[in-house]
Amino acid sequence: MPCNQFPCTAALCLMSLFLLQVELLRSKRGTRFYRAHCTDSETSAVRSFGDTWLRWRGQRVEYCRCASKGRERCHIVPVVNCYVSQCYNGGTCKEAVYTSDYICQCPPGFSGSQCEINTNEQCVVGQGEGYRGTWSISNSGAECINWNSTSLRGRRFTARKVDASSLGLGNHNFCRNPDNDNTPWCYIYRGTQIVWEFCNLPKCPKDKNQECAQASGQSYRGTKSVTKSGSRCLPWDTPVLKRKLYNAWRSDALEQGLGSHSFCRNPDGDEGPWCHTYKNMQLTWELCDIPRCREFIIIVWTTCGQRLDNTLNRPAFRMFGGRESDITEQPWQAVINVYQSRLKKHFHRCGGVLIDSCWVLSAAHCFEDNAKVEKLEVILGRTFRKQNSSSEQIFKVEKYWIHEKFNNETFDNDIALLKLKTDIGICAINSPEVFPACLPERGLVLPDWTECEISGYGKNSEFSAEYSERVKRGYVRLWPRERCIPDVLSGRPVTSNMLCAGDTRGLDDACKGDSGGPLVCKNKDQMTLMGVISWGDGCGQKDKPGVYTRVPHYIDWIDGKIKASPV
């Protein structure tokens, strides 16, 4: 009908014709007509007309666009590493060169556009706020609706919500709990209506120690999400934390317990579990009020110097430049770290030797700077120096003693004793990964050329930039006293309180960072601590031994300190 038959302006008339055309476009025989969607056959992800995304095609990346009639139009594009990772759980982030689109290469067990979906998660912890598994059936047996479906437009929780990724919502139909309800839920069709319904997900078995912290709480994986002052914790994947050191996008986030949740964690070895929070409109962090675990299985220390592999015929693991070992092969090995306030993290200082539940021997020169006792940390049972482990035991130090006659020039009397902190009368718990070495009898001397073991996390070579990431073990032999002389050690004095040991092949030796660690020798079918790693002339040089503090000379000193300071 022509516009001039209506008393309206030309602009209004044209608008009416436009709306009529739009209505005709979307109408078809009295029913609404929508353009076809693109559905991924592998992930069931649903995309609307015009949506773009990246996908892997073998080792290359394709840029795709959802065209008309549900057709995908894709072509290969170059990618680079993301400036800021968008991937969870250690996924590798790649960004298209000419667009802001990114894609994640997920580690085994994870999927999703951001590696946020844990395909191995079969149960929920607590109320399931952090559940990221693949369950997609409601209590009534109905299939869940994809959170990205257009039928959910206008609903409060969808994949198009601004903070959807933090809530676990995405282009999938898996059960989630974005509103802190009693348990994960999803939207379903009930007749012609869309309703929500809880999912029939099993609860994870409760660990009696889950809601308490052992030692400093680095292994804490509970669900407390409130700070000591009562402030609510922010999720570790909150966008404001993108540039913080500890967030859900770290490559080691999974090992640190960080993810799409707001539970308290201790990824940096602080005093206890903590979280990011807002205080007075300022982003900050605060410790959480989590009780210490007190229910320990007490095991009487009836023996020492034992391990799963109690032989000396295994291959030698060199201290530098060679093969690696496992903590079960030297369960008395300790790591001594020092906390640096400016960087808010612990750094490796020296090795140590567990000699009893609450006592660790080390080298005096490791504490020449008179490090404050509250900044010290002792880790037992860890194969990888920087990685948390279910077998590890972490302790603060109550007190430490440096030998009163320690000479920082000659390194005579280079021995120190650390007392671990506890409030239950016991510290280290006997296990395959944590076990004390035997102290020798007073004045014990073993035959020359006796084969012994050294271990530690020290440098692989004299000029290595980094300490070893994994504990190492090496074999050395006790040198005769007449060969342990200044002439073979660049003129440095050797006292009666020292012993020499080395590998005549020049293959195995202690190096920087191993100081304070053990020299253990088999004596009466037990691994006995004959020396503490002290000093040397370089690392692994042929015909140059390492020098060790002669432990049999200090049994009275050790006994005196322990008796004067009972646990």
Give pLDDT, residue 298: 42
Residue 16 reports pLDDT greater than 80: no
Neighbours of 143 (CB within 10 A): 12
What beta strand segments (E) does 375-444 contain?
376-380, 393-402, 416-420
Lowest-pLDDT choice from 40-44, 348-352, 484-488, 548-552: 40-44
26-71: pLDDT as tens digits: 333 334 444 567 877 666 677 888 888 888 888 888 898 898 888 8
Count how many residues are written for the chain: 567
Q: Long-range contacts for 523-526 (Cβ within 8 Å, ≥24 apart)?
A: 523/438, 523/440, 523/444, 523/446, 525/310, 526/303, 526/304, 526/305, 526/306, 526/438
Residue in 341, 321, 215, 231 with CA at minimum distance from that of residue 276 = 231
Q: What's the mean pLDDT when you consider all of the chain?
A: 83
How many Å apart are CA 7 and CA 405, to the nearest integer? 109
Asked whether the predicted pLDDT for residue 439 surpasses 60, the reply is: yes
Q: Looking at per-residue confidence, does 98 or 448 come out higher?
A: 448
Predicted pLDDT of residue 506:
53
- % residues pLDDT > 70 (the chain): 84
Which range, of 16-20, 70-74, 259-263, averages the lowest pLDDT?
Answer: 16-20
pTM over 0.75: no
Q: Is the model's pLDDT at 411 over the cut of 90?
A: yes
Does 414 participate in catalysis according to the annotation?
yes
Catalytically annotated residue among 237, 414, 508, 514: 414
- Candidate from 48-62, 324-338, 399-413, 523-537 with smallest mean pLDDT: 48-62
Catalytic site residue from 261, 346, 365, 553: 365
**Across 408-428, average pLDDT:** 93
The pLDDT tens digits for 212-248 are 888 888 889 888 899 999 999 999 988 889 888 899 8
> What per-residue confidence (pLDDT) applies to 461?
54
464 among known catalytic residues: no
Model pLDDT, residue 459:
67
Task: Give the pLDDT mean for 140-148.
Answer: 93
User: Is 90 exceeded by the pLDDT of residue 557?
Assistant: yes
- DSSP H or E stretch at residue 456: strand 451-456
Task: Identify the weakest region by mean pLDDT among 44-58, 69-83, 390-404, 516-530.
Answer: 44-58
Closest CA to 511 of 480, 554, 567, 472: 472
Query: Which listed residue (237, 515, 534, 553) is catalytic?
Result: 515
Which candidate, 434, 230, 422, 403, places its Cα nearest to that of 328? 434
Between the CA atoms of 523, 527, 528 and 530, what dihedral angle is there, to the nearest 10 degrees?
100
CA distance 82 to 508: 41
Instruction: Assess contact for 517 and 523: CB atoms under 8 A.
Output: no
Query: For 12, what's the count of Cα atoms within 13 Å in the CB-facing half-sphere?
Result: 5
511: confidence class by pLDDT, cuts 50, 70, 90: low
Residue 94: phi and psi, rounded to 5, are -125, 140
- Structure confidence at residue 317 (pLDDT): 32
pLDDT of residue 2: 45
Mean pLDDT of 453-481: 78
Residue 24 pLDDT class (50, 70, 90 cuts): very low
Q: What is the pLDDT of residue 237?
A: 86
For residues 398 and 4, which has the higher predicted lDDT (pLDDT)?
A: 398
* 301 pLDDT tier (thresholds 50, 70, 90): very low
Whether 515 is a known active-site residue: answer yes
Task: With beta carbons less than 8 A apart as the criterion, state whether 314 and 328 touch.
Answer: no
- pLDDT tens per residue, range 266-300: 999 888 999 999 988 899 999 999 888 764 444 44
**How many other β-carbons are positioned within 10 Å of the β-carbon of residue 98?**
8
The pLDDT assigned to 475 comes to 87
Q: Please tell me the predicted confidence (pLDDT) of residue 33.
A: 42
Question: Which domains can be identified in the chain, with CATH numbers?
Answer: 37-111 (2.10.25.10), 121-205 (2.40.20.10), 208-296 (2.40.20.10), 323-564 (2.40.10.10)
Q: How confident is the model at residue 514 (pLDDT cuts 50, 70, 90)?
A: confident
Average pLDDT over residues 443-453: 93
CA-to-CA distance for 24 and 7, rounded, in angstroms? 24
